[in-house]
A and B are shown apart, each in its own frame.
Chain A
């Protein structure tokens, strides 16, 4: 089955700095890669996603890049703010066969942005 590795497990940055979180996946059939932000006491919130036919996607201060050859994708947050502090999860999914709805998650990254 699919396996997703996420690094680093914790990340501490100063307000205004950039933050980068990296994930690798094992199943080359995976074709959908979302990123979720989870704040304390809440469910994961979808913040950005990318499909396998796209190499990069941006949404204001957030960007995601995908390297299908290396089976690697990354989340980039620029101009970080204290409210960006949360746990971030990457995930992978194969939309085919019997794999519907099954997101395989990374272990999570605790991001702390210091004012």
Chain B
């Protein structure tokens, strides 16, 4: 099976711009989570989507948003970029079946390295 794919792998944007990142989960996986990784804050949860609905959200401002499509692919958007948004954005795919579906593994993609100048 192909793994989680993320595009683009690298991105350079200017402060104030917006950006859209894309994630394609492992075939058959219906849950996608997004994480931000920085040297200072480590790995932090952004949000999770399952069946095209956001099921959980981390402590990030409203500038960070996402969506999931019917084929389980997901996008995240960051508007009005700030210098502090420079980070590795990681997408994790899971075979989660639904609420109360038991513990499930999450598999990460290679990430998108976003640099804001």
Interface contact B58-A102, CB-CB below 8 Å: yes
What CA separation (Å) do A99 and B10 show in the bound complex? 30
For residue B111, CB closer than 8 A to chain A, the reply is yes
**Complex Cα spacing A91 to B109, Å:** 17
Given contacts A51-B103, A95-B102, contact A101 B110 (CB under 8 A): no
User: A36 with B108: in contact, given A101-B55, A107-B42, A108-B42 (CB under 8 Å)?
Assistant: yes
Cβ of B75 within 8 Å of any chain A Cβ, yes or no, is no
Contact in complex: A32, B103 (CB < 8 Å): yes
Q: At the interface with chain A, which of B12-20, B78-86, B88-96? A: B88-96
| Contact assessment for A34 and B105 in the assembled complex, using a CB-CB cutoff below 8 Å | yes
List the B side residues contacting A103 at CB < 8 Å.
Answer: 33, 35, 43, 45, 92, 106
Cβ of B102 and Cβ of A102 under 8 Å apart? no
Known contacts A46-B108, A101-B55, A101-B56; 18 additional CB pairs below 8 A are A31-B103, A34-B106, A43-B109, A44-B43, A45-B108, A46-B106, A51-B103, A91-B43, A93-B103, A100-B50, A101-B45, A101-B50, A101-B106, A102-B58, A103-B92, A103-B106, A105-B42, A107-B42
| Residue from A44, A49, A99, A104 in contact with B56 in the complex, judged by beta carbons closer than 8 Å | A99
A32 to B104, CA, bound (A): 8
Name B48's contact: one of A34, A42, A46, A102 (CB within 8 Å). A102
Q: Are A101 and B48 in contact (CB under 8 A)?
A: yes
Residues of B within 8 A of A (CB): 4, 31, 33, 35, 42-45, 47-48, 50, 55-56, 58, 90, 92, 94, 96, 99-111
**Which of chain A's residues have a CB closer than 8 A to the CB of B43?**
44, 89, 91, 103, 105
Chain A residues packing against B (C-beta within 8 Å) = 31-32, 34, 36, 41-46, 49, 51, 89, 91, 93, 95-96, 98-108
Residue of A41, A102, A108 touching B33 (CB-CB under 8 A): A102
Bound CA span A36–B92, Å: 12
Interface centre among A43, A98, A101 (most CB of B within 10 A): A101
Shortest Cβ gap from B91 to chain A (Å)? 8
